[in-house]
Amino acid sequence: MTRKLFGTDGVRGRANSHPMTAEMALRLGAAAGRYFRREGSSAHRVVIGKDTRLSGYMLENALTAGLTSTGMNVLLLGPVPTPAVGFLTRSMRADLGVMISASHNPHQDNGIKFFGPDGFKLSDEAEAEIEAIVAGEIIPAAPERIGRAKRIEDGRGRYQEFVKTTFPSGRTLEGLKVVIDCANGAAYRAAPEVLWELGAEVIPVGVTPNGTNINDHVGSTYTRTAAEAVVAHGAHMGISLDGDADRVMILDETGRVADGDQIMALLADRWAEEGRLKGGTLVATVMSNLGLERFLTRRGLRLERTAVGDRYVVEAMRRGGWNLGGEQSGHIVMTDYATTGDGLIAGLQFLAEMARTGQPASRLVDQFETVPQLLQNVRFAAGAKPLEAASVRQTIAANEARISGKGRILIRKSGTEPLIRVMAECEDPALLSDVVAEIVGAVEAAAV
């Protein structure tokens, strides 16, 4: 069963344009409610969280209407990180969790992600079944079985208390000055409060959301602002989250940025030493640097690669019984603690290593030497299929032959934006640049 509405991370698009309209949100809510409603039970429960986008109000109300129309009782959490929704779905014994967010995208975009009762994102098969219900006739509940809606005031607090339990007991962050960039997003209150309660001196950045400034020159996809704050305040390190706080970039005391690969290398090495890394395996996507794979191999560990998307990382982790995975983009998944990527918990794990070892962040973020990697995005017009063009296929094949034995090429269509992502790795920087430039040129010519 194919999916048209759902991408790699839920349903996403420009607000007030298909599929991110109030009408579609209502139908999605009703379809999800019908899919998860247990016959013979009146205790159906859904938790809904959101980030700080202006369009979140519209989609929250529409989803609530759709869900209650099929007999689901809705608990509204307000602005909370995506991992909080996964946690609270399971903690509050809900049948379904919903997060309204477009993650690192600009405020004009929004998205809807669904979590099952176990707190994990839905499978492709479940999403396809919900799509099928959306396309058909959705049978509403009888009048006496229409659901209720209630705002939960302490959802964020419950999540914060849980997050603090993931930091080693007996340790504090006293003496550490930390910049926390919340991207004017979902963690703008939770993250600074957790760090302060654990004893850090907190320098907050991106904590004044106004509905339209989420990810605007702040956050994990624009680390310059956090880096400048680290240097200006003489901070020991920085934590830069994205709009829904499920991904993170770590900055050392000089403002240098470490991506998810370096963080995963640090945690995998430490967990393996402690006997905590299940199966001696780290799960990451095809985007992770070859240097990470070499680092793990030298330590007798293995890297399991998946398709791009943290949901695919999590699915592989669950199948293999592994407990650590993530993406180069900063999704760090630790299933001992959370059901999805959690930028704040990942940041705390890094801080725990600083506190344990007494080493500066600059030492801890430099786990392995990266193989030169170049990624360029090409935006394509509606209806265009550049990867199907013969000229593009021929250019890719020719350059794969050029780089064979020296590196690799990865070309893929984004699951959340109209972009073709062209990535290559090669020990020869000049060849790397030339290969990517040729492929990008071919894709651009076919992208109109």
Task: Please give the positions annotated as active site.
Answer: 103
Question: Please, are residues 420 and 389 in contact by the beta-carbon 8 Å criterion?
Answer: no
In which element (H, E) is residue 273 found? helix 260-273
Phi and psi at residue 139, to the nearest 5°: -80, 120
Identify any residues that bridge with 285 across adjacent strands, giving them in sequence order.
306
Q: How far apart are CA 348 and CA 173, in angstroms?
A: 9
Host H or E run for residue 27: helix 22-36
Centroid of chain to Cα 37 = 27
Report how far residue 112's alpha carbon sits from residue 59's, in angstroms, rounded to the nearest whole number: 9
d(CA 190, CA 81): 8
Give dist(CA 44, CA 14) in Å, integer: 31
b/e map 204-239, b = 16+ CB within 10 Å = bbbbebeeebbbbebbbbbbebbbebbeeeebbbbb
Determine contact, residues 419/377, Cβ cutoff 8 Å: yes
Do 198 and 224 contact (CB within 8 A), yes or no? Answer: no
- Report in angstroms the alpha-carbon separations of 412 from 99, 390, 418, 422: 26, 16, 11, 7
Pairing between β-strand 407-413 and β-strand 419-426 as defined by DSSP bridges: antiparallel
DSSP string, 179-238: EEE-TTSTTTTHHHHHHHHTT-EEEEES----SS-TTSS-STT-THHHHHHHHHHT-SEE
Coil, strand or helix at 20: coil
